[in-house]
Structure 1
Amino acid sequence: MNALAARRRHPAAIAVLLMLGLFLTGALYSAFAPEPAEATTQALASQSVEEGKALFRANCASCHGVNAEGRSTGTDDQIAGPALAGVGAAAVDFQVGTGRMPMTQPGTQAARSDDVKFTDEQIAALGAYIASLAPGPEVPSEEAVDPTQGDPATGGELFRVNCAMCHNFAGSGGALTRGKYAPSLKDVSGKHIYEAMATGPQSMPVFNDANMTPESKRDIIAFLTTINEQENPGGMTLGSLGPVSEGLFAWVFGLGILVGCAVWLGAKAA
């Protein structure tokens, strides 16, 4: 007993006990502690990329190639599907999220459709896979596309200078060359408008952050949201197509009334 008591009173005993306690605490923490947030995020991102890759090869590779390298039809160097490296997740979210892709049949231009083939999670996975191939525009945040934080007046000026020549002064769309067209922007979400400006789909030019700032893009979204929501004090908009629809209305109804009056007066005189 005296020898055991002497060991307990040894100056090194306390240090040994502390070291042993610290070792056991560290071992238990390593065994039961949750994974670091960064490791979890990387694991989820890797899983999303793999899921997107599987979805791409099952639904998109027939046109865009197994590795998104693009594919030619073999006729006059026409492209069945362009290469997608570098288009970014924003292009995928726009094309797939608006129902333009996958195309139901080859055509001059992919049309917007309410029949979206994939869920939001699947679209995000496809975007993650394409983004992993090469850097490209990212899907904008909710703040970047919030119309309440934009200036509709400034956005209207920017829209008329950069967009109205194709999309019409009120965003009603218009015809282009070779069967292509600028689609209507009515009831298009702010996110998809931003993504279209950032990626330049179809015949649209790319408005990157170097030639149009994110704040300017948000101002344009605010302008389009305003004209979509406000009432027209002048009455019927006739599609907001300008003199085309107005002239057609005048010819059909105006001349029709005049012809009807002439016939009525002729019959009354007889």
Structure 2
Amino acid sequence: MRAHPHTTSRSRRKTGRRHPLATLALIAIGLGLTGGGYAAFNSSTASAETATASKQSVDEGKKLFMANCATCHGLNASGTDNGPSLIGVGAAAVDFQVGTGRMPMAMQGPQAEEKPVQFTDDQVKSLAAYVATLGPGPAIPDASLLKPDGDAAKGGELFRVNCAMCHNVAGAGGALTEGKFAPDLHNVTPAHIYEAMVTGPQNMPVFNNLNITPTDKRDIITYLTYIRENPSPGGFELGGLGPVSEGLFLWIFGLGSIVALTVWITAKSN
């Protein structure tokens, strides 16, 4: 007995139909592979950072941590009510926070402010090496990424798109909400600029290598170095605060001078 042709075609279509959960399975596999690759990359970075630090340096960093940081961050650096966990922040975060004097904090406030550094360079590196052993995180950038020999024009464009809304187009800093502020970048070292981008301190977002590549970060460093070393060709730069300060200057002094001149001419004619 021959099967009806319409029945055969329906059976084939039904057999070739994808299962409703197949799409979800593919998405789950893709997310798993992406997350696994990212974790493996971070782990290899942290392992390389730890491998370059001697056991003596790590032990010294642990002693410094226990004496100066554990009160707020906990004996295991897992965090307390007074300070966040440091597991996974990486060596770059420690080098930035401690290397700029922001940590240890002198007092609780809207944000940690820069102050004189309380440790030597070797002690800062030891602290960073110890924290790097606690979990994978951004490493201290290589010196080749910090040379201000990139494309300053491209760096300026990237800075205006990603950073100028807080730090001002000239890197002069600016006020934020609730007593917070974006700091002036004119005297910040290239290493600390790079570390700030990859760790996102205070209110700053994290710009990882997928957001801004290492080459682009070097271009931004090149731009900031350029505007620091080259004064304004127009003369008085009004603090480098951009169009707001320039507009205010013109409104008060420029328009004010015109009004004063008008009043003087009128008075003379009378």
Return the TM-score normalized by structure 1: 0.74
Can you list the C-alpha shifts for 1:32-79, whole angstroms capped at 9, x where unaligned? Answer: xxxxxxxxx96962111111111011111111111111111xxxxxxx
Shift of residue 233 of structure 1?
A: 1.2
Can you list the C-alpha shifts for 1:86-115, whole angstroms capped at 9, x where unaligned? Answer: 1101000001111111111111011122x1
- Give 2:164's aligned residue: 164
Change (3 A) 1:216 1:245: same
CA contact (8 A) 2:101 2:114 kept: yes
1:116 maps to 2:117: yes
Shift of residue 238 of structure 1?
A: 0.8
Shift of residue 248 of structure 1?
A: 3.9
Equivalent residue of 2:179, what SS?
coil
- Give 1:51's aligned residue: 60
Return the TM-score normalized by structure 2: 0.74
Equivalent residue of 1:63, what SS?
helix
Equivalent residue of 1:135, what SS?
coil
**Identical aligned pairs, as a percentage?**
63
Change (3 A) 1:42 1:249: closer
Equivalent residue of 1:188, what SS?
coil
Alignment equivalent of 1:61, drawn from 63, 66, 70: 70
Change (3 A) 1:67 1:243: same
- Give 2:35's aligned residue: none
Please give the alpha-carbon distance, in whole angstroms, between the structure 1 residues aligned to 2:204 and 2:79. Answer: 20
Change (3 A) 1:157 1:42: closer
Please give the alpha-carbon distance, in whole angstroms, between the structure 2 residues aligned to 1:154 and 1:253. Answer: 35
Equivalent residue of 1:147, what SS?
coil
Change (3 A) 1:180 1:43: closer
- Give 1:90's aligned residue: 92
Equivalent residue of 2:158, what SS?
helix
- Give 1:133's aligned residue: 134
Equivalent residue of 1:50, what SS?
helix
CA-based RMSD of the aligned residues comes to 2.5
Matching residue's letter, 1:106: Q
Change (3 A) 1:245 1:42: closer
CA contact (8 A) 2:172 2:186 kept: yes
Shift of residue 249 of structure 1?
A: 3.1
CA contact (8 A) 2:140 2:195 kept: yes
- May I ask how many residue pairs the two structures share in their alignment? 221
Please give the alpha-carbon distance, in whole angstroms, between the structure 1 residues aligned to 2:87 and 2:241. Answer: 38
Please give the alpha-carbon distance, in whole angstroms, between the structure 2 residues aligned to 1:209 and 1:267. Answer: 66
Shift of residue 265 of structure 1?
A: 8.7
